[in-house]
Chain A
Amino acid sequence: MFVFDTIVHRLKRGCETMAYPKGPAPALPDRHGGALKVDAAKCAEGCNDCVPVCPTQAITRPPGKPVALDLGRCIFCAACVEVCPQGAITQTGDHRMAVRRREDLVLGESGKEQIRLAAALDEKLRKLFGRSLRLRQVSAGGCGACEADTNVLGTIGWDLSRFGIQFVASPRHADGLLITGCVSRNMELALRKTYDAVPTPKIVIAVGACAIAGGPFVGHPQILNGASSVVPVDLFVPGCPPHPLTILDGLLRLLGRLEKI
């Protein structure tokens, strides 16, 4: 009976994998806010209100220059959005945030109000990885949240393996690394060894504010302020942690899997 019951329950539930990316993306929680947009032209002369409220020092405004918000450092607390008297910093509700170049996360000046989203890998790498990408995950000073929201992509709701993307148990089996955490000094050697053990050509994906720039721990002497200090990074996915949808978007964008749909 037991086996029969289990099968019946399973049939009743049906397919629980989301339609995205063929169908619409699931909605972000309304209080999430999504990516930020910074229109520095709106800033009042000499206004610095957003700078001191940012917990990760992601916002700077050197004298005489427009305000600059580094979304790589941002933990999306929206304290700056609340405090800005001019409405220069706004939430877009957009889950898409992954970029290929670190500087594409710096928002503010004219023409750079929003994130410059990631381009796909070049033709050669796309041919290699586009339909089959094996990643080794390294947590290096991560708090477990980026790890958890990466892990969730493997569950039935997201079913990452339908895109040919899988996490593997050895760097020798991998095409690249997915790194989380601010890269503690105590993980430097292990991260370097893992990277060296991945056969070339290989790619590196940095997930979360910590892996991009140190996150809430930026500047601590015990950390190296992100993955770029140890290995070259090919994709940056901002957030604290990034929503699973943001991570998935980044992976598919990198593989050039979004424009085909």
Chain B
Amino acid sequence: MMNPSLEFALLANATSILWADVPAWPAAEFVRATATELNRGARLCAWFGVPEGSGTCLVAVLAFDADNTLAVGRSAPFTGSYPSLTVTHPQAHLFEREVWEQHGLTPEGHPWLKPVRRSNGNAPANGEFFRVEGGEVHEVAVGPVHAGIIEPGHFRFQCAGEEVLHLEIALGYQHRGVEEALTSGPHRATMSQMETVAGDTTIAHATAHATVMEALAGTEAPLRAQWLRAIALELERLANHTGDMGALAGDVAFLPTSSACGKIRGDFLNLTALICGNRFGRGLVRPGGCRHDLEPARAAQLIERLKTALADTEQAVAWFWDAASVRARFENVGIVFPAQAAEIGLVGPAARACGLVRDVRYDHPAGWHRFAQAPVAVWPSGDVFARARVRSLEIQRSGEYLREQLVAPADGDMRSELAPPAPETFAVALVEGWRGEVCHVALTDAAGRFRRYKIIDPSFHNWIGMTLALRGTAISDFPICNKSFSLSYCGFDL
């Protein structure tokens, strides 16, 4: 029987809680309790194992977006198997595979239990692929090395003629052992590893890590640093959204926008480099604050250059939306339905393009976003058009946000000394990166070192969305579907 007195512990984004205060259920009851919360409208941010004694505790971090709160619970340590959460809540499917791979806990009833990124010598242990049988059916295998300058992954299409019946994606090729290396950390290399979890999301991952360190120290970064982090985060969003708008244009052979956006993307990267010297924002965010200041003269230069880049973007993107030939190529292609999106737990622009109002900056504001927010960009149709539209709207809104915030800096220091992390404490930080929710969770041991550190890149939630979008679509539309999601391989592979 479920213990009715036990409830998930609530905490706000970017805060911590004592490990002892995280409620623990027996495994089967914990799965039921989690399912109950998910039925009440929670979303699964993280589901992972923490070794304890000879067993493993399952830990769940849930988000109640409408209530602006997070909830955390765990199971008592156990070994062997537990009833799979995926059966009733598909958003857990990959988390359960990962826990099975990392800790050997078997989710009984999981429909597709296979490796996530485990190695088989010199390649990932992909396991068996789902196959469709039939005389007209053929299989297309793509990758791991792809035809452009892009990260590796393997795509297996089941097709009837041009139509994709099913797509399965096997990743793990980029696995660098990021999480494993964090054990007993932070170490000397930790900060630079956090900045390269997904290189195009440096600011979001670095901010999430720094925020976790600050929450564990029971403090926060100086306001001025929080202001600068928010600015760098929007510059990162602008660069990536603009680049992908160009790439989408390129994939439908609309070259004016493709050429212009390729260059403007670089202009945005150069604005980040103006702040910290590195086009991807490396060396800027540090636990306790930021390593560089944005002095008034530098800020003035940034504002001036930003103005030009935003005007260029607006023009290049307007060409694109004005062209009926472009709109026709994007409409009704690669659809994810809103109910599917909620069921599989999509995040970021991909979720917002299905009409889900889901944005960490708005739902779980931390740092500077407690004081200044941008409206959430949403579009209902769930197709390539919607995903491009949301990103196009976000370019406008990030631009507006930057114009407002750059002239309203917080005064004070950029960096403060950080106390060592508190022992046996559990901290969560969510940051809305350009792809969606970046989640970092840390649990410290008795000495205040990391006992477990979990990273969830938005791509971890969203790859399955892309496979659903491909169903019933012509295989020749794969490039625009792929680009409209623009997911990370290394952020997934860790």
Contact = CB atoms under 8 A, between A and B. Distances in A.
A140 interface: yes
Nearest to B276: A31
Q: Which of B149, B262, B266, B283 has the largest count of A CB atoms less than 10 A from its CB?
A: B149
A143 B198 contact: yes
A170 interface: yes
Given A32-B278, A152-B266, A147 B191 contact: no
A31 B277 contact: yes
Contacts of A243: 279
A225 to B, nearest CB: 11
A114 interface: no
Contacts of A240: 192, 196, 278, 282
B280 interface: yes
Given A56-B189, A187-B174, A189-B123, A215 B196 contact: yes
A131 to B, nearest CB: 22
Given A9-B319, A32-B278, A55-B188, A144 B488 contact: yes
A119 interface: no
Contacts of B282: 75, 77, 240
Contact of A143 (B149, B199, B266, B319): B199
A55 B192 contact: yes
B180 interface: yes
B204 interface: no
A155 B145 CA distance: 22
A222 B176 contact: yes
18 contacts: A31-B276, A32-B273, A139-B174, A140-B173, A141-B175, A145-B200, A145-B279, A145-B280, A146-B199, A148-B200, A149-B279, A155-B259, A156-B260, A156-B262, A169-B147, A186-B493, A187-B123, A223-B176
Interface in A156-207: 156-157, 167, 169-171, 181-182, 184-190, 192, 194
A22 interface: no
A2 interface: yes
A15 B410 CA distance: 40
B192 A9 contact: no
B263 A16 contact: yes
Contacts of A210: 196
A241 B273 CA distance: 12
Interface of B: 117, 119, 121-124, 144-145, 147-152, 172-178, 180-181, 188-189, 191-193, 195-200, 202, 243, 256, 259-260, 262-263, 265-266, 270, 273-280, 282-283, 292, 315, 319, 322-323, 488-490, 493
B315 A190 contact: no
Nearest to B490: A143
A221 interface: yes
Contacts of B195: 216
Contact of A6 (B191, B262, B319): B319
B280 A241 contact: yes
B202 A145 contact: yes
A156 B131 CA distance: 43
Contacts of B275: 31
A216 B148 contact: no
A209 B274 CA distance: 22
A161 to B, nearest CB: 13
Contact of B144 (A144, A185, A190): A190
A238 interface: no
Contacts of A170: 147
B124 A186 contact: yes
A182 B319 CA distance: 40
A78 interface: yes
B200 A32 contact: no
Contacts of A16: 263
Given A156-B262, A185-B119, 4 more contacts: A32-B273, A144-B489, A243-B279, A244-B266
Contacts of A149: 279
B170 to A, nearest CB: 11
B198 A222 contact: no
Contacts of B315: 9
Q: Which of B148, B192, B265 has the most CB atoms of chain A within a 10 A radius of its CB? A: B192
A216 B147 contact: no
B152 A187 contact: yes
Contacts of A215: 192, 196
Residue of B117, B189, B262, B263 ringed by the most chain A CB atoms within 10 A: B189
Contact of B256 (A9, A145, A150, A194): A9
B173 A182 contact: no
A2 B266 contact: no
A171 B249 CA distance: 26
A241 B174 contact: no
Contact of A144 (B151, B172, B176, B278): B151
A101 to B, nearest CB: 26
A186 B177 contact: no
A46 to B, nearest CB: 21
A152 B275 CA distance: 20
Closest 10 pairs (CB-CB, A-B) = A31-B277, A143-B199, A145-B199, A169-B147, A155-B262, A222-B177, A188-B122, A29-B273, A144-B199, A216-B192
Contacts of B270: 29
A142 B199 contact: yes
B263 A155 contact: yes
A165 B426 CA distance: 51
Contacts of B148: 137, 151, 167, 169
A162 B145 CA distance: 26
Contacts of A189: 121-123
A188 B177 contact: no
B198 A144 contact: yes
A210 B117 CA distance: 20
B330 to A, nearest CB: 17
A140 B122 CA distance: 12
A52 B177 CA distance: 22
Nearest to A153: B149
B174 A216 contact: no
A241 B322 contact: no
Contact of A221 (B177, B197, B279): B177
A147 B185 CA distance: 29
Nearest to A145: B199
Contact of B189 (A55, A142, A185, A222): A55
Given A145-B202, A147-B149, A215-B196, A32 B175 contact: no
